[in-house]
Amino acid sequence: MPENQGANLKNRHDSRQTVVTVPSESGAGDEVIMSIAGHVSRAMLSRYSHVRMEVNRRALDEIAARQRAADETNQREAQQRDQAAIRPQSALVQ
C-alpha cells in the first residue's frame, strides 16, 4: 500500500471517530448518531465512539447535581407537609 494511501485511510477513520464522538459528547442519542454515521449496529457505534473521560466526568457531575436538587426539593416538600399537618392539630388543642 502506498504511504499516502495509508494516511488517507487514517484520516477517514479519524474523521469518522469525530463524526461519532462530537454528537455523543453533545448529548445526541445513539439512534441519531448511528443515522449520521451510517452505522447499523451499536457495536459499530462503540468502535468509533471515544467519549473523553472529562465528558464522562461532567455528565456524572450533572447527574449528581440533579439528584441533589431533587433530594432537596423532596425534603422541603416533606417538611412543608409535616408542618401543614401539625397546624390543624394545634388549632384543635386551643
pLDDT tens track, the chain, 94 positions: 445 444 444 566 677 677 777 877 788 888 888 888 887 787 877 777 766 667 778 888 999 999 999 999 999 999 999 888 887 665 555 5
Question: Alpha-carbon distance 92 to 86, whole Å?
Answer: 10
Task: Tell me the Ramachandran region of residue 29: left when phi exceeds 0, alpha when psi lies from -120 to 50, beta otherwise.
Answer: beta
- C-alpha cell recorded at residue 31: 439512534
- Collapsing DSSP to helix, strand or coil, 16 comes out as helix
- Where do runs of H (alpha helix) occur along the chain? 3-25, 30-37, 42-48, 53-93
Query: So where are the chain's domains?
Result: 1-51, 53-94
Give the pTM.
0.44
